Amino acid sequence: DALDATTELTIEAWIRLDANANLTIANKGGNYGFFVSDQNNLRFYSNQTGNDYFSGTGIFAIGRLYHVAVTHNGGSLRLYIDGQLVRSITRDLVLQPNSDTLEIGTGYGVVDELAIYKRALTAAEILAIYNSSSDGKCGPPTITTDTLPRGEVGQSYSATLKADLREHAILLKAD
């Protein structure tokens, strides 16, 4: 299953709580879970150990948008809120793949732009995603154009418009 990481993992999303109650960000049943508890704790668990890891109580304001992330690199577990590391512990988890359904966004709130990676994103990558805000993970495109020479009425010219979207390039030709 593409959602089953075994040694490295990142789960990140934008969340908004509607009440001081549970909000499941991502839960893969017998493998892992990432959620906000009814005590306003950010929690990650793995069924390998059954342990919960907390960032603290009372940290989320109702109705405010937050970026949250958890990473595991095979030796440490890190929790982030709004691009900032809030807790790091040494933990060597071995996540257990399974055929359970991925549960997203159940409870009292909203989960947006959820992403699950089979690698641990760096602190710089987590911060960059948070800083991108409403631009999304790719950020705004960079657009460059050719300068056309001054011409006469009735002449035809062509130019290339290139939009670099970091992952893709779009080439448009105008005649």
What secondary structure, in 3-state letters, does the chain show? CCCCCCCCEEEEEEEEECCCCCEEEEECCCCEEEEECCCCCEEEEECCCCCEEECCCCCCCCCCEEEEEEEECCCEEEEEECCEEEEEEECCCCCCCCCCCCECCCECEEEEEEEEECCCCCHHHHHHHHHHHHHCCCCCCEEEECCCCCCCCCCCCCEEEEEECCCCEEEEEEC
R_g of the chain, CA atoms, integer Å:
21
Contact 28, 116 (CB under 8 A): no
Note the pLDDT of residue 8: 87
Note the pLDDT of residue 100: 84
Note the pLDDT of residue 146: 61
Note the pLDDT of residue 144: 62
Contact 6, 31 (CB under 8 A): no
> What pLDDT tens digit does each residue of the chain (175 aa) get?
557 777 788 999 999 999 888 999 999 876 888 999 888 889 888 876 666 666 777 789 999 999 999 999 888 989 999 999 999 988 777 777 788 888 999 999 999 999 999 899 999 999 999 998 767 665 555 666 666 666 676 666 565 555 444 433 333 333 3
Query: What is the maximum alpha-carbon separation in the chain?
Result: 76
Nearest 10 degrees: Cα torsion 89, 15, 101, 49: 20
